[in-house]
Amino acid sequence: MAADLTFTSWSRPEAGHRWMVAEPVNGSGESHRYLVPGVGMAHRYGPASETGLFRHFAEIEPTEASVLGFADAYGSLGGTVAEPIAIPSGERSIVGAGERLRSWVSEIDAMRRMVNLWDLARSRDARLGDYVLWQEPGVRWVDADQRGRLQSSEWIATDKLYPDLLDRFPRGDVVGPALHLVQRQVNRKLVEHGVSARLLWDARYTRLGLHIVPLSLIGFLWFQFAQAIDGDKDYRRCPDCRKWFESTPHATRSDRVFCSPSCKASAHRKKIAEARRLYAGGVGIKEIARQLDSTPAKVQGWVNPSGRQSK
Ligand SMILES: [Zn+2]
């Protein structure tokens, strides 16, 4: 089945976003602070080129500033996070979409917890026992929020709820129950944010194909996580830009270290600048080579490009 991702383009406003006080359109008349996109031109980009974006999302700090930074880089989340709000415009108001901090934090928390659980389950990490507990009458999941408060808890299986599932887990097993919980929560999110199948035309309008289409950025993030689980994918953090990216086993060594050729080049430029800084401060060539994990011949070329011998 041709069920590939066709979410090739998403937009973010060139003017960025801002936090403002507004009223929900169908609400109680109570005002809240909302993240709203700036007016004007939108910049289109393909979120699928950022292969580890769901991991980046899972690490956002639960603050207005951090959320604003992510939204300015990748756009609003949409999905069930967006609410219709009345935005004051002169004497009247216009209806627009706004996103509350607590809706963002709820998605970030959910993603962070499930990614963490999946990572621990894949590596058979003993810390899984902090999250998956065998207690009468079954097995349950518990987790804290980013401030350490116990916030979430759910029975994975009991003698009444999914008794067949409970029988399948060897008693004391934490990996199986953890993966079942991840499966359940990811599926809920895919439904909640409307990630669904669509028949779409190819670029030349000659053939209809079946595709899975996330209609919002938040839907895309959960779908990207689901693809990571499906493909049992590995991720690395780029040492230059600090972004997560999918590490493919067939890439060359340097491609596996950096997320892109531009980050590789940028890291190289920083290394040369650092070598020159150390050299100007009186550090010897051999010591610089040791500190920067390089060779004295290379360092010599960086600090003294004209090729004259020194220290
Ligand atoms: Zn990078």
263: which 2 tokens? 């980050």
146: which 2 tokens? 């980013």
Q: Which residues of the chain have pLDDT under 70?
A: 1-8, 27, 145-148, 150, 250-255, 305-311
Q: 111 alpha carbon to ligand 1 midpoint, in Å?
A: 22
Q: 267 alpha carbon to ligand 1 midpoint, in Å?
A: 9
What pLDDT, on the 0 to 100 scale, is given for residue 53?
95
Per-residue CA distances from 256 to 47, 171, 268, 272 (Å): 20, 39, 15, 21
Closest CA to 5 of 43, 72, 42, 54: 54
Q: Give Cα 198 distance to the centre of its chain.
A: 25
DSSP lists the bridge partners of residue 14 as none
What pLDDT, on the 0 to 100 scale, is given for residue 49?
81
Tally Cβ neighbours within 10 Å of residue 226: 20
Q: Could you say which DSSP state residue 135 is in? A: E
Please give the single-letter amino acid code of residue 133.
L
Q: 260 alpha carbon to ligand 1 midpoint, in Å?
A: 6
Residues around ligand 1, an ion, CB closer than 5 A: 238, 240-241, 259, 263
Q: 53 alpha carbon to ligand 1 midpoint, in Å?
A: 12
Ordered by start, the domain boundaries in the chain are 10-121+180-231, 261-303
What pLDDT, on the 0 to 100 scale, is given for residue 253?
59
pTM: 0.86
Closest CA to 191 of 168, 158, 162, 214: 214
CA distance 109 to 61: 10
Q: 89 alpha carbon to ligand 1 midpoint, in Å?
A: 40
Tracing tokens 């008693």 back to the chain, one arrives at 171
Share of the chain above pLDDT 90, in %: 63
